[in-house]
Amino acid sequence: MSPLLGVLGGMGPAATNSFLAALVEHTPARRDQEHLATIVYSDPATPDRSDAILAGGASPVPAMVRGIEFLDRSGCDLIAIPCNTAHRWFDELAAAADTPILHIVDAVLDRIEQDAPAVGTVGMMATEGTVHAGIYHERLAAAGLDVLDLNDLGSDNPVMAGIRAVKAGELDQARAYLTKAAEMLVTRGAQGLIFGCTDVAAAVGAGVPGVDVPVWDSSDALAAACLARIGTENADQGVTRGKEVHAGQ
């Protein structure tokens, strides 16, 4: 039986679509039947993750756990969460299921180590909640990477302005904000950029025009890691259940 990937989506819908598109792009399929079987649980009503972290807003955990439990009951072999900020609660989500869950930051780290191991400073394009919670900073620091962000700009942070524009469907405005953010991070010394919010790629695609440093899109990295773990060519190998799975395993 072919392996089954579960996707905890809806955070936001455009980000989920970008992840699924990346999954298709990375699959070396010659016909429909060679693609990975996927179940997507998408609940856009999940409370805002950044609001929960920064402003004491409603917790998204109950809604996310419902999705994780649904995917677990559906017989998935692996679960992916194409929302970076949701990984603030990774441990709670991993504890809610026997199905292993890939950590999106590990997927990005693997790509950086493969593509540009000499890079020492990266710029983070992520929500204020992701930055504040240290979702990337802690794991990247442990790998010897310095991390730059624009959270010091407060309400003038063009990353957050761009992400809000994506969620509002204003993609042209979003691209303008996010291009400005990328340029500012490179000026501050970033040798590479991480799209640490899956909505960023939904607006700008695989890279930022005019910005000549490597770019790592977390959604793209997560898709590649999922296929490396349970790609159709590895269907007969199975997966180990009941523990966190790192992208490099």
Q: Catalytic residues, which ones? A: 83, 197
Distance between CA atoms of residues 102 and 144, nearest Å: 21
The one-letter amino acid at 174: A
The one-letter amino acid at 232: T
The one-letter amino acid at 159: V
- The structure tokens listed for 214 are 């490597």
Sign of CA dihedral 28, 32, 33, 38: positive
Residues 65/43, Cβ–Cβ less than 8 Å: no
Burial of 57 (C-beta count, 10 Å sphere; 0-12/13-18/19+)? middle
The one-letter amino acid at 248: G
Q: Which helix (H) or strand (E) holds 230?
A: helix 218-230
Residues 164/177, Cβ–Cβ less than 8 Å: no
Contacting residues for 150 by C-beta, under 8 A, at least 6 apart: 157, 158, 159, 181, 184, 185
Distance between CA atoms of residues 169 and 17, nearest Å: 13
The one-letter amino acid at 92: E
